[in-house]
Amino acid sequence: MPGKWGLHTFYQKDSRIAPMLPETKRYGKSAFQDMLSRYGSVYVKPNMAHMGKGIMKVWKEDGGYRMLRVKGKPRTFATAESVCGHVLTAVKGKAHIVQQAIPLAEVNGRSYDIRVMMMRDGRNKWRYSGMLAKVAGSSSIITNVRRGGGYVLPIGQALSRSVAKGKQDEQKKLEKELVDASYAICDRFNKYKYSSQIGIDYGVDRDGKLWLIEVNFDYPSHALFARLRDKTLYRLIKRRRRDYKNRR
């Protein structure tokens, strides 16, 4: 089975990557109820969609439940039964996954995740090529910049203003962890299919633990990097792409 579920089971088999995966199940009424009661907050995502489309978040709050779709106002439900019925309707019989919600680190009260670009170079070797933070738009449950209305920040700013708390060594340690994990993901990805560039999305939680959210392959956005004021990474990405295309 392809899609988000297929990729999840594929990465689960790699012992270096498995500890970074949030618990994920195929959506079904009992899987949903079980995860919601254990984690108190879950994401429900269409198996095959991209760019934040169709994503829902459900969580416990004030003795009841809330549900939010991509953006906007949360709806309130009194019982697990009623929120469950509502999600079931929204899912419309299409394949979905249900996943534990990661308590993402925040800057200025908005959660962010991290995009790491891995690209093949002129010798066809995977190379780390840049990373940045994607900050969620106001009251958005997703950090996808276009659909979620968010913005980008240099990675150092996001980390130092949240989990690294201004500590240079903490920040550098996390950046190294992200790069190392990304090489491991490229290794594993090679067994899935050939691709020349992948954009890996990680969440960092409030304890500084890294989580793998998604691996975008074939056409990961370069434009995200053009949004940074400093164009160094964007130029590197464009140059590496040219090197790859002109490889012999």
Ligand X SMILES: Nc1ncnc2c1ncn2[C@@H]1O[C@H](COP(=O)(O)OP(=O)(O)O)[C@@H](O)[C@H]1O
Residue 175 as a binder of Mg ion (CB under 5 A): the answer is: no
The structure tokens listed for 188 are 């594993």
Q: How many residues bind ligand X (CB under 6 A)?
A: 21
Residue 102 as a binder of ligand X (CB under 6 A): the answer is: yes
**Which of residues 25, 91, 195, 214 is near Mg ion by CB under 5 A?**
214
The C-alpha atoms of residue 89 and residue 72 are separated, in whole angstroms, by 19
Residue 143 as a binder of ligand X (CB under 6 A): the answer is: yes
The C-alpha atoms of residue 135 and residue 145 are separated, in whole angstroms, by 8
The C-alpha atoms of residue 68 and residue 26 are separated, in whole angstroms, by 20
The C-alpha atoms of residue 131 and residue 114 are separated, in whole angstroms, by 7
Residue placing its CB nearer to ligand X in the complex, 45 or 240:
45
Residue 13: phi, psi to the nearest 5? -80, -5
Stretch that binds ligand X, among 82-90, 141-149, 189-197, 225-233 (CB under 6 A): 141-149
Residue 113 as a binder of ligand X (CB under 6 A): the answer is: yes
**Which of residues 31, 48, 49, 210 is near ligand X by CB under 6 A?**
49
**Which of residues 101, 158, 185, 215 is near ligand X by CB under 6 A?**
101
- Judged on CB neighbours under 10 Å (0-12, 13-18, 19+), 44 is buried
Q: How many residues bind Mg ion (CB under 5 A)?
A: 1
**Which of residues 104, 164, 224, 233 is near ligand X by CB under 6 A?**
104
Residue 149: which region, alpha, beta or left (left: phi > 0; alpha: psi -120 to 50)?
Answer: left
Do 149 and 137 touch, CB atoms closer than 8 A?
yes
- Which residues of this protein are in contact with ligand X, per CB under 6 A? 22, 43, 45, 49-53, 55, 99, 101-102, 104, 113, 142-144, 201, 203, 213-214
